[in-house]
Structure formats: C-alpha cells, structure tokens
Amino acid sequence: MRVTGLRLVNFRNYPSLSLRPDAGLCVLTGENAAGKTNVLESLFLCSLGRSHRTVRDGEMVRAGEAFASVAVDVDTRGGPRRIECKLFPGDRKKTMIDGAPITRSGELLGCLNVVMFAPEDLALVKDGPGERRRFLDMAISQLRPSYYYTLQQYNNALKQRNALLKDAEGLDYDALACWDEQLSVLGSAIILARAELSERLGMIAAEQHETLSDGAESLVAEYEPNVQPEAANELTKTLRLALADSAERDIYRGSTSVGPHRDDLKLLINRTDVRVYGSQGQQRTTVLSLKLAQLEILRAEKDDSPVLLLDDVFSELDRNRQKMLLIAAQDCQTFLTCTHLEEVAAAGVEQMQVYQVADRRVIEV
Ligand SMILES: Nc1ncnc2c1ncn2[C@@H]1O[C@H](COP(=O)(O)OP(=O)(O)OP(=O)(O)O)[C@@H](O)[C@H]1O
Ligand SMILES: [Mg+2]
C-alpha cells in the first residue's frame, strides 16, 4: 500500500500542509524541531488511531487552535481509501473512513498499515514488560483487528474484576466467578495469539539479528507468558483455575495477579538478557531485528507491503545496518526523516523524493 496524499490542518506546528508523496523513498530533512517527526506522527495516527509518542490526543492540536485534522489518501490492493482524523483539545477524536465516521476505534486497523522505527523504540527493550506487550498487541491487531476487540474486552473485564476485589468487605463472589469466566475465555485467546506471533517473530528476528551482527550474536525472542499456553479448551480451564486459586491473594492486594496482562517477551543475546545487560548497540539491533520481523510478517500475511516510517534512525546505524534497513524497505513506500541528507545519499540511495522542512512548511526540492 502507499500514501498518495497527506493533508494537515492545525496539526502540531503546521497551520496547513499538503503533500503528494511518491511511491518509493520520501526523505524529510531539516533542522531539529522543524516538524519532521510531526509528519510521521500524523501518518501513524491514521494507521493506529493514536500517536506513537503521546497518549494525549489534544497535544497534537496546534497550540491555541480549537481542532486539528489529518487526511490521508491511501492506495491499497483493495482500491483507494481516505482516512480522516479530527482532533480536539479536551474532547474525543473523530475518525472517518471514506467519509463515514467509525464507531469503534478498531475499525481503522488494517486500512493503512505502517511499521515505524523511531528513537523511542529503545523502550521496547529497556522499559518494563508493558512496552513489549504493547508491541505484540499492536502487531497482532494490525494482522487481525478482531484481536484488538478481544483485548479491549479483556481489559474491561480486568478493570471490573479489580474494582470488585477492592470492595473486599462485601465481596460479591458470584460476580467474581462471572468475571473469572470472561477473563479466562478472553485471556486464553490473547495468550494463544501472542504465543503464535512470538514464535514467528522470534524465528525471523533471530535470522535478522544474525545478519545484522555478522554472525556474532544470536538473538532469542521468546514469549514469556504468565500462564503457559496449551490447547484452547484446556487453557481456558487452566486460566479459570489459576484465577480461582489466586482469589485470596488478589483480594488482599486489590488486583488480579494472573493472566496475560502479566506477560512479557524474553529477549536474550548469546543467552544473556538484553533487557537488563544489553549494550546500547545490542539493544538497538534487537529492536531493529524485531521490527524487521514484524514488517516481514505483515507483508506476508497481508499480501500488501506496509508503509515504513523511519524517524531519525538512520544516523544511529552503521553502514551494514543501514543497508539491511534499505533492503527491507525496497518494495515499501518509506518516509524517512534526517537532519543531514548526505547520510542517506552516502548509504547508496539513488532514487528519492526530498522534502525540506522549515518554517512550518514542507517543500519538495
Ligand atoms: N501542539 C503543538 N502546537 C504547536 N507547535 C507544536 C505542537 N507540538 C509540537 N510543536 C512544535 O513542533 C516542533 C517539533 O516538531 P518535530 O518533533 O516534528 O521536530 P523534528 O523536525 O522531528 O525535530 P528533531 O530533528 O529534533 O527530531 C517544535 O518546534 C514544537 O514546538
Ligand atoms: Mg524528530
């Protein structure tokens, strides 16, 4: 798929902006704080319904303005599509696909698939398990939007169970059993989907990592579930029993201690935990391998290449890694930001569309 048009109004630092990007590589270059990442963020927003760097949608509205809008035209195998997102400070955003408002945020998933590489990605390795769960969840949701709904329902049931646990005095055991039942059905679907994706992801990421490190490092990315996956029927039962077993402790703590909301993705390089002991370079390479694996799975499953968003990542990579990234990007439309255009040219890129970002404008050069 490819983005054929992008129009921003009052988005971040742009009063108004209109782009008609080419199919191949689009480079956005300019000084720090010029507004390069903002452009990628607007595409990410139309892909996943949220920013990659804030949970507060209002931040994306240009300071002092009452609304912002982003409109993206996409060419997909299934034909052209227009995605529009309107943002309001202090109010819910509105999203439309081909002019029709969507009622559930999951409807957006799959319309425009993007894979982003950004400096913030390092959190995927360095931060807590929540980041890695989010990565798995977003990757699965792009492949299968129904997963996103299951996840929403699970989180909702979890919230309800936790609220119930906090009221230990008059605890309603029937209601607790009811939430346990829901959590075990929804939770087992999540565990199985995560186990399946982690296995594929782990295999491809290991290959990528071996190439990126010239054979020196072997990466193991492995699902670290809180409750072990097994056959679907059994798993639901196991989860239900685990929830019942932990009820007493959960009442004491006021929260639910078992289930996929406690999962992690184990990351080892040469048998050492990258999350704790990895060097900056190893952590960066691990993220790159995982993202390249995500890209490959998305491409294979959807039979349509996603759009790549490469934010500021080029300058931090050595030549070998830059080349790998460019090879992976070959048949994808790619938006790349950089402060120094020479770096991209030096990596051997011949054909590219270059935009200069300055003074709240983006001009093709
Ligand atoms: N809501 C907003 N209203 C107005 N301006 C904003 C808003 N949010 C961010 N900005 C401005 O956008 C600019 C930052 O944009 P962006 O992060 O895209 O820069 P960049 O070109 O990617 O810079 P760098 O090279 O440092 O990553 C800053 O000047 C910031 O003040
Ligand atoms: Mg930036």
Q: How far apart are CA 272 and CA 278, in angstroms?
A: 8
What is the number of domains present in the chain?
2
Ligand 1 atom closest to the CA of 28, numbered from 1: 21
Task: For residues 98 and 138, state if they share a domain.
Answer: no
**Angle at alpha carbon of residue 87, lines to 117 and 361, rounded to 5°:** 65
Cα of 36 from ligand 2 centre, angstroms? 6
Pair (149, 182) in one structural domain: yes
Query: Quick one: average pLDDT of 313-331?
Result: 84
The alpha carbon of 273 and the centre of ligand 2 are apart by a number of angstroms equal to: 30
Model confidence pLDDT, tens digit, residues 117-160: 998 899 999 999 999 999 999 999 999 999 999 999 999 999 99
- Count CB-CB contacts under 10 A for residue 351: 7
- Supply the range of the domain harboring residue 103: 1-113+305-365
For the stretch 221-278, pLDDT in tens is 999 999 998 888 899 999 999 999 999 999 999 999 999 999 999 999 999 999 999 9
Same domain, 219 and 314: no
Same domain? 137 vs 253? yes
Q: Which CATH number characterizes residue 29's domain?
A: 3.40.50.300
* CATH code of the domain in which 180 resides: 1.20.1050.90
Q: Closest Cα to atom 13, ligand 1: which residue?
A: 33
The answer to whether residue 333 scores a pLDDT higher than 90 is yes
Same domain (yes/no): 96, 141: no
Residue pointed to by tokens 């020196």 = 216
**Residues with C-beta atoms within 5 A of ion ligand 2:** 37
Q: Ligand 1: list residues with CB < 6 Å.
A: 12-13, 30, 32-38, 59, 61-63, 312, 337, 339
pLDDT cut 70: percent of the chain above it: 100
Do 355 and 310 belong together in one domain?
yes
Distances (CA, A) of 289 to 121, 229, 293, 319, 324: 12, 25, 6, 16, 10
Ligand 1 atom nearest 62 alpha carbon = 3
Cβ–Cβ under 8 Å, residues 311 and 337: yes
Residue 322: CB partners within 8 Å, gap ≥ 6? 314, 347
Ligand 1 closest atom vs CA 30:
21
Q: Domain end: 288, 303, 318, which one?
A: 303
pLDDT greater than 90 at residue 313:
no
For residue 90, report the distance from its CA to the centre of ligand 1, in Å: 20
Non-local CB neighbours of 330 within 8 Å, separated by 6+ positions: none
pLDDT value at residue 168: 67
Residue 181, pLDDT score: 97
Together in a domain, 296 and 319:
no
Confidence of residue 345 (pLDDT cuts 50, 70, 90): confident
Q: What is the mean pLDDT of the chain?
A: 94
Mean pLDDT of 188-206: 98
Q: Do 6 and 92 sit in the same domain of this protein?
A: yes
% of the chain at pLDDT higher than 90 = 84
Give ∠ CA 39-42-47 in degrees, rounded to 5: 130
Q: What was the pLDDT predicted at 315?
A: 79
Using an 8 Å Cβ cutoff, are 34 and 28 in contact?
no
Q: Are residues 60 and 138 in the same domain?
A: no
pTM here is 0.93
Shared domain check, 250 and 138: yes
| Distant-in-sequence, close-in-space partners of 165: CB < 8 Å, separation ≥ 6 | 171, 176, 250, 251, 253, 254, 255, 256
**Same domain flag for 50 and 136:** no
Q: Which ligand is nearest to the CA of 310?
A: 2
142 with 254, same domain: the answer is yes
Nearest to 287 by CA among 354, 208, 341, 226: 208
